A and B are shown apart, each in its own frame.
Chain A
Amino acid sequence: MSLELAVLDWFFEPLQFAFMQRSLAVAVMVGIICSVVGSYLMVQRLALLGDAISHSVLPGLAIAFWLGVNIFVGAFIAGVISTVIIGWIHTRSPIKEDAAMGIVFSAFFALGITLITTIQKDNKIDLNHFLFGNILGVTPGDVRDTAIIAVLVLIAVFLLYKELLFYSFDPLGAQAGGLPTGLLNAGLMVLIALTVVASMKVVGVILVLSLLIAPGATAYLLVPRLHQVMLLGATIGVFSSVSGMYLSYYVNLPSGPAIVMVVSALFALSFLLSPQHGVLVGPRRGRPWQTLQALLPSKGSRP
C-alpha cells in the first residue's frame, strides 16, 4: 500500500463506526462555538466566568435527569442562574466579582456532585461522564441538540456582532451611545451557558474552559481583529477536537484530555513562535531600557 493510501486509510478507518461519526460531528461543532464565544470571554477578561458557568451547570443537569427532562435544558437553566447570582452578589455587596464567582461556582459544583452521587445509586448515570466528558457515548439525540445550539449561537453572534464588539471593547461608551448594554451582557451570558452545555459530552465541565479560551488566545497572538480571532480560533478549535479524537482512537487516550492537550500544545507553539508576539521570534521585550521606555507616559502605556 502506498503512503497516501495508508494515510487515507488511517483517516477513514474510524469513520466507519457510527459512534465515531457522531462524536466527530459533535466535536467539530463544539470546537467552533467554544472558540467563537470564548473569544468574548477572553477579550473581556472573563475567563474565570467560563469556568464558573461550566461548574455551575451540574445541579441543573442532575435535577433534569431526575425529573426526566432534557438534561441540556436543566444544565442551561443552572448556568444562567449562577451568573445571575454572581452578578447579584457583586453589585449588592462590596464582594468583588472574582470572589463572587469562586463562592457561587464551588457551591453549585458541590450541590451538583451531591445530587448526582445520590441519583447515581438508583440509575445508570456516571458522574465521571459529566466531569470529564463521554464523547464516545454521544447519541443521535445529542448530535441533534448540539447542532441546534451551534446554529443558534452562531446566528446570534453573527447578527449581534457589531453591538457585541462595541460593548466588549468599551461598555461605558456603548451604554452612553444608547446601546442596551444590560441586555447585551445577558445575551452574552446565555450564549456562554448554551456553549458550555453543548460541550459537556465532549470535554466535560472541568476541561471546557480550555476549549473556550485556548483557541481564541492562540489566534489572538496571530491576528489583530476580533472576527479574525474568532475565525482562526474556530479553525484551531476544530483541528484540536478532531485530532484529539483521533489520538483518543488510536492511542486509546480519554478523548476530553486528548483534545485539551492538543489545543494547549497549539497555544504553546503560538506563544513561542507568533511573528508579532512570539517569545522566541517576536520583537524583543523585557530588556531593561525597553521596560523603562514603556513606563514613560508619552509612549502611551497605560498608567
Chain B
Amino acid sequence: MATSPKIVVDHLSVNYRDVQALRNVNLTVRPGKLVGIFGPNGAGKSTLIKAMLGLMPVVTGRVTYGDNTLAHQLDRVAYVPQRSQIDWTFPATVWDVVMMGRVKKTGWFNRFSASSRQIATAALERVGMLEFRDRPIGALSGGQQQRVFLARALAQEAEIFCFDEPFVGVDQKTETVLFNIFRELAQAGKIVMVINHDLGESITNFDQLILLNKELIAAGPRDWVLTRDNMTRAYGGHVGFFGHVA
C-alpha cells in the first residue's frame, strides 16, 4: 500500500431517541497516531465511535475508510466496549474471550486453526495474561479483564482499533500496559482511537485529540486542541487539566 487509508467523517449527525446526540461532525483520523476522544459525560464520545462503525443509525453523514464506507469493512475493526457493558459472570474463560478475536478470520463452520491459537497465545503473552488463560473471566480484577479484552482486540489483527473508556477502574500496571500497546499499534501504522474522560496527566500520552460536546469542538494535534478556549467550550466553567495551554 502506497499510502495507508484514513478514516474520513463527513457531516455526521446522530440522534438518540429523538434527541440530537451529535451535530455535523467532520474530521479525519489518520493511521500512525494515538488519538484520544475527550469530552464531558454525554458529549457523544461512544456515540461517535458507534456511529462511525455503523452500530447505530445516523441521521446524515458518511464515514469512509479508504474508498469505501467504514461500516462495510468491519472485518478490519477491533472494538472494545466499556467494561460495564459486559456481563462478567458469563461462563467463559480468558482463553474463550481471546479466541473470540479469531472468530471472523476463521470463518463460518470452520474450527480454529493452530495459527489462530498461536496468535491468541501471543496476544495473551503481550498483555501479561497468559498464565490466566484458564481462569473464568469473572475471577479477574478489572484491570485484568481490560487486558484480556485488549488481547482479544490484538488477536483480531485489525487495522482500526477502538477502545471505549479502557482506563475506567483499572490499576496502574494495566494503564501502563494499555498505553504501551496503544503506542506500539500506532507506530505499526494502525488507526488507534481511545475514548477517555480523564483530563489528568495521562492525556500527554495522546498525539492527537478529538474534543466533543454534542458537536466537534476541535480535532488535531494535542497541543493545538488543548487551548483554554476549547476546554471551556467543551467542559464549560473552569476545568483544571494537565498539559500545555497554548
Is A299 touching B106 in the complex (CB atoms < 8 A)?
A: no
Is A175 touching B55 in the complex (CB atoms < 8 A)?
A: yes
B175 within 8 A of A: no
A145 within 8 A of B: no
Contact status of A176 and B92, CB under 8 A, knowing A297-B169, A299-B142, A303-B84: no
Closest to A168 in B: B90
Is B74 touching A165 in the complex (CB atoms < 8 A)?
A: no
Chain B count of residues within 8 A CB distance of the other chain: 44
**What secondary structure prevails in chain A residues at the interface with B?**
helix
- Residues 281-303 (chain A) with a chain B CB within 8 angstroms: 297-303
Q: How far, in Å, is B50 (CB) from chain A's closest CB?
A: 8
Is A162 touching B103 in the complex (CB atoms < 8 A)?
A: yes
A301 vs B145: C-alpha distance when bound (angstroms):
11
- Residues 45-72 (chain B) with a chain A CB within 8 angstroms: 50, 53, 55
- Chain A 153-184 interface 0/1 with B at a Cβ cutoff of 8 Å (1 = within): 00000011011011011101111111100000
- Residues 70-125 (chain B) with a chain A CB within 8 angstroms: 74-75, 77-81, 83-88, 90-93, 96-97, 99-101, 103-104, 106, 108-109, 112
Identify which of A45, A169, A177, A229 gathers the most chain B CB atoms within 10 Å of its CB. A177
Contact status of A173 and B100, CB under 8 A, knowing A299-B142, A300-B140, A300-B141: yes
B162 within 8 A of A: yes
Contacts of B74 in A (CB 8 A): 175-178
Is B88 touching A302 in the complex (CB atoms < 8 A)?
A: yes
Closest to B135 in A: A224
Q: How far, in Å, is A41 (CB) from chain B's closest CB?
A: 13
Is B91 touching A176 in the complex (CB atoms < 8 A)?
A: no
Name the one of B78, B80, B93 contacting A225, with C-beta atoms under 8 angstroms: B93
Interface positions of B (Cβ within 8 A of A): 17, 50, 53, 55, 74-75, 77-81, 83-88, 90-93, 96-97, 99-101, 103-104, 106, 108-109, 112, 136, 140-145, 152, 156, 162, 169, 171
The 8 closest A-B CB pairs, nearest first, are A300-B142, A176-B79, A178-B74, A178-B75, A224-B136, A166-B100, A300-B141, A226-B91
Pairs across A and B, CB under 8 Å, 16 listed: A162-B106, A165-B96, A169-B86, A169-B87, A170-B100, A172-B79, A173-B79, A173-B152, A176-B162, A178-B104, A223-B91, A224-B91, A225-B93, A226-B90, A298-B142, A299-B141
